[in-house]
Amino acid sequence: MSIQQLETIERTTSDNPTHSIIWLHGLGADGHDFEAIVPELGLPESVNYRFIFPHAPFQRVTINNGQVMRAWYDVQTAPIDKQDDIAGITDSSNALMGLIEQEIERGIAAENIVIAGFSQGGAIALTTAMRYHTKLAGVMALSTYLPVQDTYPEMSHDANRETPIFMAHGSVDETINFMIGEKSHQKLLSMNYPVEWHNYEIGHGIGPQELGDIREWLLEVLG
């Protein structure tokens, strides 16, 4: 995978953005999945935001009978955190780093960039934040988990050791079990990452209360 292969959708809240939020979708979805969330967040017009929603590439997904769909990496079996597709995760993480670098080249300071993701996209966001060499504004990981946990802390970079992390998970999530998310939460805490943890009585999705908490967190980390 190369960064040129990642098509993106962009939405801005006003002209001349000064802050960027790169938001990755989940397995089988595409960049349009969270496009409608921009107006729903109700962010203030006083800050100029650019939302970037990349499309994952198409690939075969083993757990879905080899069906071709948009995916950030292959999933071989359940539970999802057992047989990590290390090569696929690394490729997608590198592609996300490319998008971050692109925003920096466009004049957005790294400390004004949030990387976010839902489900598979959240796994890539977490992985990338831990590996990235420059401090970011924050990381948002929704209904997800930290993959390849046994490679940390050795594979992590200290640049984002103090970067705020927003993690949220539904207590009745039927796709990524709540305890998988909680295990990742505890792993991050054990490495002294500043994690703000939320759980909601919902399944694999984003509810109204969560949306409000996301808004407040974004306002805090992006000013």
The active-site residue, picked from 74, 173, 184, 185, is 173
142 near 117, Cβ under 8 Å?
Answer: yes
What separation, in Å, do the N-terminal and C-terminal C-alpha atoms of the chain show?
Answer: 34
119 included as an active-site residue: yes
Q: Which of 115, 130, 136, 124 is nearest to 187 (CA)?
A: 130
Phi/psi of residue 128, each to 5°?
-65, -45
204 is catalytic: yes
User: Which of 156, 157, 198, 204 is the catalytic position?
Assistant: 204
Closest of 154, 168, 73 to residue 116, by C-alpha: 168
Q: Could you give the residue ranges of the DSSP H alpha helices within the chain?
A: 37-41, 86-105, 120-131, 178-190, 208-222
Please pick, among 93, 119, 143, 184, the residue that the annotation labels catalytic. 119
> Annotated catalytic sites, by residue?
119, 173, 204
